[in-house]
Chains A and B, each alone.
Chain A
Amino acid sequence: SAVISQKPSRDICQRGTSLTIQCQVDSQVTMMFWYRQQPGQSLTLIATANQGSEATYESGFVIDKFPISRPNLTFSTLTVSNLSPEDSSIYLCSVRGNTEAFFGQGTRLTVV
């Protein structure tokens, strides 16, 4: 199993600013995944982060808006840049175990 800690758990940000979300895992993992969950919606994969290489983004998500760092095998950050009210969502990180995925508690972002 894996335990994932996300920080912050929630934040309220002004439009035009950025928020960086941290994800810490209690074991070394090759891949980390970042998801977005818009209000009342399901989860959508933003990108896959490999240690030592550029993140791979899903269709509709770009690096300029969602830069990701992956400095080591237990840590990753997701930055949501140039915030607008449409970015108000829950952002979750996830890692894959042998047969199941583990998720952090999420970061609830409100843009005002």
Chain B
Amino acid sequence: DAKTTQPNSMESNEEEPVHLPCNHSTISGTDYIHWYRQLPSQGPEYVIHGLTSNVNNRMASLAIAEDRKSSTLILHRATLRDAAVYYCILRDSWTQGGSEKLVFGKGTKLTVNP
């Protein structure tokens, strides 16, 4: 299974941009890079995903390195509600049951200061 490496924690100030890095040096050519976040006492929620090109949606932007060995999730203006654990996940290989599974790493705990 391809692995990802993220910093354990990061801090930001409210209304400032946040850049959350992720290293995935063993990524395969067909792996998508997914980001999920888990707010306190909630299940994870999807943030964004991409394959090769940078991606934008209403929640965030995803910048993918040209060699695809790293990516960065960008929150353009952090709010207190963005305080969460952010997981960078490579869409993994098939499970024994024949369906894709999401393999969660430890993630980055983002603290947003008022």
Write the residues of chain A forming the contact surface with B, with a CB cutoff of 8 angstroms.
Answer: 4, 30-31, 33, 35, 41-45, 48, 50, 56, 58, 92, 94, 96, 99-106
Shortest Cβ gap from B85 to chain A (Å): 8
Shortest Cβ gap from B70 to chain A (Å): 20
Interface residue B30 (Cβ < 8 Å from any Cβ of A): no
* Contacting residue for B99 out of A44, A48, A104, CB 8 A: A48
Shortest Cβ gap from A81 to chain B (Å): 21
Is there an interface contact between B101 and A99, defined as CB atoms closer than 8 Å? no
Binds A, one of B17-25, B36-44, B74-82: B36-44
Shortest Cβ gap from B76 to chain A (Å): 21
Determine the chain A residues whose CB is within 8 A of the CB of B105 once the complex forms: 42
Chain B residues bordering chain A, tally (CB within 8 A): 22
- Enumerate 21 A-B pairs (CB-CB under 8 Å) in ascending A order: A31-B97, A31-B99, A33-B102, A35-B104, A41-B106, A42-B87, A42-B104, A43-B44, A44-B104, A48-B101, A56-B95, A58-B95, A92-B43, A92-B44, A94-B43, A101-B102, A102-B46, A103-B43, A105-B42, A106-B41, A106-B43
Q: Which 6 A-B pairs have the closest CB atoms?
A: A103-B43, A56-B97, A100-B46, A43-B104, A42-B104, A48-B97
* Contacting residue for B103 out of A45, A50, A104, CB 8 A: A45
Complex alpha-carbon distance, A4 and B102, angstroms: 17
Is there an interface contact between B43 and A105, defined as CB atoms closer than 8 Å? yes
Determine the chain A residues whose CB is within 8 A of the CB of B95 once the complex forms: 45, 48, 56, 58
Complex alpha-carbon distance, A94 and B46, angstroms: 12
